[in-house]
Structures are given as structure tokens and as C-alpha cells.
Amino acid sequence: MGVSRVSTAENSRTGGEEGERQGLLDRVRATPAGRLTLRIVIGVIGTALVVGGLIMVPFPGPGWLVVFTGLAVLATEFAWASRVLEFAKHWVRRATDWLKRQNWFVRIVAGALTLACAAAIVWVSVRLTLGIDLIQKARELLS
């Protein structure tokens, strides 16, 4: 039946499910073919999450969260992804801390610029993919 269950004593010693999962990963990594297969699977899943997240960034939703999740998945097997993730977290933290220290006017301007950038990306995306000019359609509806 595949993977054997770890005993209750072993579960409590290693952290239950987490210890069981780590044991499975250790067994997979124990062979060269297992290591390569795991790296390929992690690479494909992580890359899909990063690319999907980047596509979602300009739209409402969790785009950046998905990008960071993809980097975290990649970081489990690739050192470069771990460095990129730490770099990104550092700069997001710095930008957030800087914005928190600013007065309300700067915060409103930053929000308006973010909204304008998101709107421009959505407009360009719709224009290039569907051939619809949202600004022209809005003008037609208003007149």
C-alpha cells in the first residue's frame, strides 16, 4: 500500500503529520531518481504558481500572494528561489514600513497611483487580448 504509517510514539516525537511528511520526503530524496523527480515536480508547481500569480497581479485578487507562495514552494528545493523570496520580502517590508510612517496625503497619493497603474494594466490587457477599448466603450455609454 505504499507508505507505512509512523507509530504513535514516533508521531509525537517528530511532530505528527509534519514528521510523517518529512520522513516521506527524506525517503524520496534518498535516491538520485527521487531527488531529480522531486526537484522537477517542485519546479513545475512553483513556476506555475509564480507565472499564474504574475498574470493575476493587475486584477483584483491575491496575485502577489500567489507569487510569494510559488517562490516559497520553489525555495524548498532551490537556493536561488530562497534568496529571491528573502529579497522580495525585505523590500515589501521596507516599502510598507515607509508608507506607514507617511501622512494621510502621501498614503492617498500612493493609493491613487497604485489604482491608476492597475487600471492601465487592465485597460492594456483587455485592449490587446479582446480588442475592446474600455475608455471608448465608457464614452459611448455616457453619451
Q: What is the pLDDT of residues 22-79, one digit of tens each?
A: 788 788 888 888 889 999 999 999 999 999 998 887 777 788 899 999 999 999 999 9
pTM score over 0.75:
no
Q: What is the pLDDT of residues 3-22, one digit of tens each?
A: 444 444 444 444 566 667 77
- To 5 degrees, how large is the angle CA 91–CA 69–CA 111? 45
| DSSP 3-state percent helix, strand, coil across the chain (nearest 5) | 80, 0, 20
Give the start-to-end residue ranges of the domains of the chain.
33-141
